[in-house]
């Protein structure tokens, strides 16, 4: 993959919602992926009396695909928000240790369960939003088309989001995250609202895109089958602590129903349900 040196682009129109805004537009033009390693040291997060994360220690090597599973309310989304800098830990440190003192900034992108597309913008313009401000308009459009091709939606560039299916909208959200070639891709239950078959197709897409891009990926999911299908490693969070850290040694791409994966799924379920 060659380095894209196109300048930054200015996106006109209304300001997108906070969660859809690029984190640091000045770094958004980097073409080739430089996967971010992540290190968390004794990370705590409180919301008033609610002690949500309790001493999280975690090292994620550059390029790893990490999945996080756990009961509703155990702190998964809170942890993701800290990773991409949308919130700050109450105590402890998070660093991306090739760059001491820097946060993931413009090199991190997040995809949520709902695609959060701008209804008044075309599919291509929704993807351009992921580049931030200052990129030349023609270059931005070309890069958006490339990202749409990566998610097999090249033919939908001029459509309105309202004309797409749920799975297609989520692929646009993925393209918007990929267009800046992020070093860290964070996914908060991105397939949770999709039907079972679309979900499997999307899992294959996410797996392929991650392998091609070479970024570090952190996925939150409720689905242990999805976690072992996609990730190199799965951690289980319970009441703000890591209670299991499991390697998934199988090679990619993986097959649903594989016996080795089924054993890991069972181990994860037991840890989540607390009867292991
Ligand atoms: N901004 C906030 N202000 C106050 N409390 C919050 C805030 N964000 C999260 N919380 C609380 O932190 C706890 C963990 O929430 P979080 O969203 O991280 O859970 P989760 O594991 O992602 O759950 P789910 O699987 O349902 O998405 C919950 O008790 C929630 O109410
Ligand atoms: Mg959540």
Model confidence pLDDT, tens digit, residues 140-157: 999 999 999 999 999 999
Q: Which ligand is nearest to the CA of 112?
A: 2
Dihedral of CA 92/96/101/107: which sign?
negative
Is residue 88 within 6 Å of ligand 1 at its C-beta? no
**Per-residue tokens: 96:** 């991306």
CA–centroid distance, 50 to ligand 1, in Å, is: 10
C-beta separation of 110 from 18 below 8 A: no
β-pairing verdict for 233-238 and 65-70: parallel
Q: pTM of this prediction?
A: 0.86
Average pLDDT over residues 19-24: 34
- Which residues make Cβ contacts (< 8 Å) with residue 105, sequence separation at least 6? 23, 24, 27, 85
CA–centroid distance, 5 to ligand 1, in Å, is: 39
- For 236-264, b where at least 16 C-beta lie within 10 A, e where not — what string? bbbebebebebebeeeeebeeeeeebeeb
CA–centroid distance, 86 to ligand 2, in Å, is: 14
What is the largest distance, in Å, between two alpha-carbon atoms of the chain? 56
Question: 96: pLDDT confidence band, cut at 50, 70 and 90?
Answer: confident
pLDDT of residue 17: 41
pLDDT of residue 23: 31
- Which residues make Cβ contacts (< 8 Å) with residue 23, sequence separation at least 6? 84, 85, 104, 105, 106, 108, 109
Ligand 1 atom with the shortest distance to the CA of 70: 21
CA–centroid distance, 201 to ligand 2, in Å, is: 22
Q: Does domain 28-104+183-273 have CATH number 3.40.50.300?
A: yes
pLDDT of residue 20 exceeding 60, the answer is no
- Which residues make Cβ contacts (< 8 Å) with residue 28, sequence separation at least 6? 8, 22, 106, 130, 131, 132, 135, 180
Ligand 1 atom with the shortest distance to the CA of 189: 27
Highest mean pLDDT among 89-98, 112-121, 191-200: 112-121
- Which residues make Cβ contacts (< 8 Å) with residue 9, sequence separation at least 6? 128, 131, 132, 133, 134, 135, 136, 137, 139, 140
Is residue 52 within 6 Å of ligand 1 at its C-beta? yes
Ligand 1 atom with the shortest distance to the CA of 78: 18
Average pLDDT over residues 123-145: 93
What are residue 241's phi and psi, to 5 degrees? -125, 155
pLDDT of residue 11 exceeding 90, the answer is no
**Per-residue tokens: 214:** 């070479």
Question: 12: pLDDT confidence band, cut at 50, 70 and 90?
Answer: very low
C-beta separation of 185 from 215 below 8 A: yes
Mean pLDDT value across the chain: 85
- The pLDDT > 70 percentage for the chain reads 84
d(CA 275, CA 159): 49
Model confidence pLDDT, tens digit, residues 204-247: 999 999 999 999 999 999 999 999 999 999 999 999 999 999 99
């Amino acid at each position: 993959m060659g380095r894209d040196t196109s300048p930054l682009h200015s996106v006109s129109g209304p300001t997108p919602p906070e969660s859809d805004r690029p984190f640091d537009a000045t770094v958004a033009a980097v073409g080739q992926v430089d996967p971010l390693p992540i290190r968390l040291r004794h990370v705590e997060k409180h919301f008033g009396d609610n002690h949500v994360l309790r001493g999280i220690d975690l090292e994620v090597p550059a390029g790893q695909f990490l999945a996080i599973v756990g009961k509703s309310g155990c702190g998964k989304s809170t942890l993701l928000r800290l990773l991409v800098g949308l919130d700050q830990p109450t105590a402890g440190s998070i660093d991306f240790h090739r760059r001491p003192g820097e946060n993931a900034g413009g090199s991190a992108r997040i995809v949520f369960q709902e695609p959060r597309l701008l209804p008044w913008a075309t599919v291509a313009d929704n993807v351009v939003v992921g580049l931030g401000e200052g990129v030349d308009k023609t270059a931005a459009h070309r890069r958006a088309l490339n990202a749409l091709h990566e998610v097999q939606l090249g033919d939908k560039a001029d459509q309105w989001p309202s004309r797409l299916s749920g799975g297609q909208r989520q692929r646009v959200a993925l393209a918007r995250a990929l267009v800046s070639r992020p070093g860290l891709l964070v996914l908060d239950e991105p397939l949770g609202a999709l039907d079972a078959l679309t979900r499997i197709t999307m899992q294959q897409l996410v797996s392929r895109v991650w392998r091609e891009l070479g970024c570090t990926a952190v996925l939150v999911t409720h689905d242990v089958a999805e976690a072992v299908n996609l990730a190199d490693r799965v951690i289980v969070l319970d009441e703000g602590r890591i209670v299991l850290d499991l390697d998934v040694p199988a090679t990619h791409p993986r097959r649903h129903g594989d016996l080795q994966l089924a054993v890991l799924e069972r181990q994860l379920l037991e840890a989540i349900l607390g009867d292991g």
